[in-house]
A and B are shown apart, each in its own frame.
Chain A
Amino acid sequence: MKPLLLAHFTATSCAGRGLDALLAALRAGRGGLARCAFERAALDTWIGAVAGVDAQPMRADLRDFDCRNNRLAQIGFTEDDFAARVDHAVARFGAARVGVFVGTSTAGILETERAYRRRDPQSGALPAGFRYAQTHNPYSPAAFVRAYFGLRGPAMAVSTACSSGAKAFASARRMLDAGLIDAAVVGGVDSLCLTTLYGFNSLELLSRAPCRPFDVARDGISIGEAAAFALVERAPARPADDAILLVGIGESSDAHHMSSPHPEGLGARVAIEQALASAGVDAAEVDYINLHGTATPTNDAAESRALAALFDGTPCSSTKGATGHTLGAAGALEAVIAALALREQLLPAGINTTHVDPALSLAVDYVLTSRDARVRTVLSNSFGFGGTNCSLVLGRVRS
């Protein structure tokens, strides 16, 4: 595929607001998970909540969009001068030539959960002031991005469960290549809600401890929340030496089961192979793999089998120990972490993991302590419910 330029990027999660905080946490092996004390969730689990989201005021002209999900997105825009860079792109290309592609799994459904507790006792009606389109609908975070920046280009939400934030880049790439747009705000935003907390609890997939991806004692996920965005353009013919490029994308379906991965990781392997092929790189050229690594026994086993078919000793980690599993935002958050690994020449550790499962690490080198390294090519995996798989390959310009 034709490479895309990640002209600018930002991320906010429980591991920190903005790139400096995220990078400091990754370097230090620090995470943001804490015991769950969210809303009415009476669950013995750990979550990755971003502090201060409820205190974040919505911009006055955007109050119709007020909900935790859009507040989190707005926090994201204010970090790392992201808003200024989008404004610059609008000035350069025109508002109609900037697209919006946002991954989310639950958007602002928390607002609907709250509204259902305040139904009219007689009629059962939802409370006045409940705004379906701007909060509940899956498109609401994309509409919010578009309104926040005054964009007039095409916009869509991508909602493929836990691969959403990665697949948003795939849709953006197609539309940039087709020439319908010149730049795109691409990313993912997903926020805590009872639907996902009780939903994953029903599947017995929540860990009672901070999640331990690829650990021999891994026993489930820790749910987090995040807003991660990139400003994406077609890469110039001669990108700057320090440019971060999206060079490969692979997408596949398991065609196996709604909530369990293919046991051999077949769909995951197809996505990884396609991503490498579209990037024109061999598996041996990958310097770091940011794993999907949710820390459920079956997910990590399936992913490791996909890796074992393709890699030999490649450094890898799941950063979900630090951020939690941010679901529809995870693909975007981890694309940003991949970009940081390239920018900083860093292999970020997978924290909480102490005893890497020997059955999972045959083909890879699971990074337990962050370390500097030569990082030119990074693979980021995102897989989700319904058997949806997406792998991204990011790279630095080769000298």
Chain B
Amino acid sequence: MTRVSAFVESIGVLGPGLRDWPHAARVLADPAGWTRARTVLPPPDGLPSAERRRTGPAVRVALAVGHEAAAASGRDAATLATVFTSSGGDGHNCHAICETLAGDDRQLSPTRFHNAVHNAPAGYWSIATRAMAASNVLCAHDGSFAAGLLDSLCQVAIDATPTLLIAFDTDYPSPMREVRPIPDAFGVAMVLTPDAGPGALARVDVRLTDAPATVLAAPALEQLRREIPAARALPLLAALAARRPASVVLDYLHDTRVAVDVVP
């Protein structure tokens, strides 16, 4: 079975009751101490104020975890290739556009429209960090994290390009929420590199599998994993937080999943 490998150099996390990676690592190691609370989205760093005002939750969660991971790696964010992956765009923005288009006056605002593109967070990220490197933007519905992990690992392994993976999701308002019930925002970012730097957390060896996905022992965290597609990364984050060799399987497509061997 073909494997693709990279080193995880740093991590960023933001989610319901999860402030950052050090906090999330503690929660994953000791779930009893976790209180789920609405995700707090900080204003995005690095953008001019006019641009900052135009950003919605998708941009905010993506930039927050991206900045955390880039800073923790000690690398200049401008030098990192990026892979963004999300099961949907900005749900509130999408809802507003569909409401407007269903009405009699169908004129949209330019900001609404450019925030509707799936790569809006990638565009804002490149403006905020002045990164001119390659930037990919993916979607694989509930398997979007695994799709992003595969694409970024291939980029690291094949082209030896240090790559920042940013996976995130945000909620839809009603009535979209009834058909796509994502309850809150969650984001995770990882700097993945071809060589083991001094601060590398672990090597990850990834292959495709049809084995079932790893579930989390703590019911509340398992519920989060199931509710938000980007949180399908949690079994990998738990393995990285434990700093012990581990093998986990992440959800991807209905008949194909991603097995990750974590080697600290």
Binding site for B on A (CB under 8 A): 40, 42, 96, 105, 109, 112-113, 115-117, 119, 123-126, 130, 132-133, 137-140, 142-143, 146, 152-161, 167, 170-171, 174-175, 177-180, 194-195, 198-203, 251-259, 266-267, 270, 384-388
Contact = CB atoms under 8 A, between A and B. Distances in A.
Given A126-B176, A142-B140, A177-B154, 9 more contacts: A133-B141, A159-B139, A170-B134, A171-B151, A195-B116, A251-B135, A255-B126, A256-B127, A385-B117
A158 B117 contact: no
Contacts of B179: 126, 130, 132
Contacts of A153: 208, 256
Contacts, number: 212
B99 interface: yes
Given A96-B208, A139-B139, A174-B159, A198 B107 contact: yes
A202 B114 CA distance: 10
B193 interface: no
Interface string B93-121: 01001111110001111101110111110
A259 B114 contact: yes
B158 A174 contact: yes
A55 to B, nearest CB: 24
A177 B138 contact: no
A168 to B, nearest CB: 10
B155 interface: yes
A352 to B, nearest CB: 25
Contact of A137 (B87, B113, B158): B87
A229 B78 CA distance: 33
Given A153-B256, A385-B123, A253 B135 contact: yes
Interface in B152-208: 153-155, 157-159, 174-176, 178-180, 208
Given A157-B138, A251-B134, A255-B129, A178 B157 contact: yes
B104 to A, nearest CB: 10
Interface string B128-153: 01111111111111001001001101
B107 A154 contact: no
B141 A116 contact: no
B237 to A, nearest CB: 21
A249 B159 CA distance: 12
25 contacts: A40-B101, A96-B208, A105-B117, A116-B102, A139-B139, A156-B147, A156-B150, A157-B139, A159-B119, A159-B139, A160-B137, A171-B151, A171-B154, A198-B106, A199-B112, A200-B113, A202-B107, A252-B134, A258-B120, A266-B132, A267-B132, A385-B114, A386-B117, A386-B124, A388-B119
A45 to B, nearest CB: 14
Nearest to B207: A180
B213 interface: no
Contacts of B174: 124
Given A155-B253, A171-B138, A202 B113 contact: yes
A388 B110 CA distance: 18
Residue in B51, B94, B98, B131 with the greatest tally of chain A CB atoms within 10 Å: B98
Given A142-B140, A175-B150, A180 B114 contact: no
Report the contact-size class of chain B (Cβ under 8 Å from the partner).
35 or more
Nearest to B104: A40
Given A174-B154, A254-B126, A258-B124, A113 B98 contact: yes
Nearest to A40: B106
A11 B157 CA distance: 32
Nearest to B150: A154
A158 B133 contact: no
A299 B134 CA distance: 20
Nearest to B154: A174
A123 B133 CA distance: 46
Nearest to B135: A253
Contact of B4 (A124, A160, A180, A385): A180
Given A116-B102, A258-B120, A386-B122, A137 B136 contact: no
B114 to A, nearest CB: 5
A385 B119 contact: yes
Contact of A255 (B108, B130, B141): B130
A13 B179 CA distance: 32
A126 B123 contact: no
Contacts of A116: 98-99, 101-102
Nearest to A178: B154
A116 B102 CA distance: 6
Contacts of A178: 2, 4, 153-154, 157-158
B256 A96 contact: yes
Contacts of B253: 146, 154-155
B261 to A, nearest CB: 15
Contacts of B89: 138
Residue in B87, B129, B208, B253 with the greatest tally of chain A CB atoms within 10 Å: B253
Contacts of B120: 258, 386
A138 B118 contact: yes
A180 B179 CA distance: 33
Contact of A174 (B78, B107, B155): B155
Nearest to A127: B175
